[in-house]
Structure 1
Amino acid sequence: MLFAFICTDKPNSVDLRMKVRPDHLKHLEELGPKLKLAGPFTNDEGSPIGSLVVVDAESRAAAEKIAAADPYTKEGLFASVEVRAWKWTFGNPETK
C-alpha cells in the first residue's frame, strides 16, 4: 500500500535542511524499491519549504516508522508530518 508523507518545514530552517540533506538522501536511497517518489516543496522563489515522499509500506504503522526514521524528522526540521494512504492513479509506471 502506498503512503504519502506531506512534510512542512519549520520557518527559517533552510540551513538545517542543507546540513542534514546528505543523511536524508542516504535514508531515502536505503529504502530501495519501497521509495516510489520524493522531492521538496518550494516557495515561489524556489527555496525548499517541505517535502513529499511516497513509499510502499505494509501498513500505516510501517509507513509512520519510515517517516520517523528520516534524518529530517529526527533533527527537527519539520513543523508537521502528515502520513496519508495514497492511490497512484495517473503516471504510475507500474501500471503501464
Structure 2
Amino acid sequence: MLYVIKCVDKADHLQVRLDNRAAHVEYLKSYGEKLFAAGPTLTEEDEAMNGSVVILDLENKAEAQEFCDNDPYAKAGLFDSVTISKWKKVLPA
C-alpha cells in the first residue's frame, strides 16, 4: 500500500532542515525499492524549502509512522505537522 507523508516545517527552521538534509536523504535511500517518490515543498515567493512529501510502499500505517518517527528531520524537531494518508496511484498507468 502506498502512503503519502506530508510534513510542514516549523517557521524559521530552514537552517535545521539544511543541517540535517544529508542524514535525511541517506535515510530515504535506505528504504530502497519501497521509496516511490520524495522531495521538498517550496514557498511561493522565493522557492525556499518549507516541508516534505514522501510516498512509500509499506505494509501498513504503523510502518509509515515508524518511518516518520525515525526520520532525522523529525528527530531534529523540524516539523510543525505531519500527516500520513493511504494513496492509490491511478495515472499514469
* TM-score bin, normalised by smaller chain: over 0.9
Structure 2 residue aligned with 1:52: 53
Shift of 1:68: 1.1
In the other structure, the counterpart of 2:10 is: 10
- Compute the displacement of 1:34 (Å): 0.7
Aligned to 2:29: 29
Instruction: Give the TM-score normalised by structure 2.
Output: 0.95
Answer yes or no: is 1:20 the counterpart of 2:17. Answer: no
Residue 10 of structure 1 aligns to which amino acid in structure 2? Answer: K
Question: 1:88 deviation in Å?
Answer: 1.2
Moved over 3 A (4+): none
CA distance in structure 2 between the aligned counterparts of 1:68 and 1:57, rounded to whole angstroms: 15
| DSSP 3-state at the match of 1:66 | helix
Instruction: Identify unmatched segments of 5+ residues in structure 1.
Output: none
In the other structure, the counterpart of 2:41 is 41
Tell me the number of residue pairs that the alignment of Structure 1 and Structure 2 aligns. 92
Q: Which amino acid aligns with 1:59?
A: N
Superposition deviation, residue 67 in structure 1: 1.4
User: Deviations 1:4-62 (Å, cap 9, x if unpaired)?
Assistant: 00100000011010000000000001010011000000001110010000001100111
Task: State the superposition RMSD in angstroms.
Answer: 0.8
Gaps of 5+ in 2: none
- Structure 1 vs Structure 2: percent identity of aligned residues? 36
Partner SS, residue 58 of structure 1: coil
TM-score, normalised relative to structure 1: 0.92
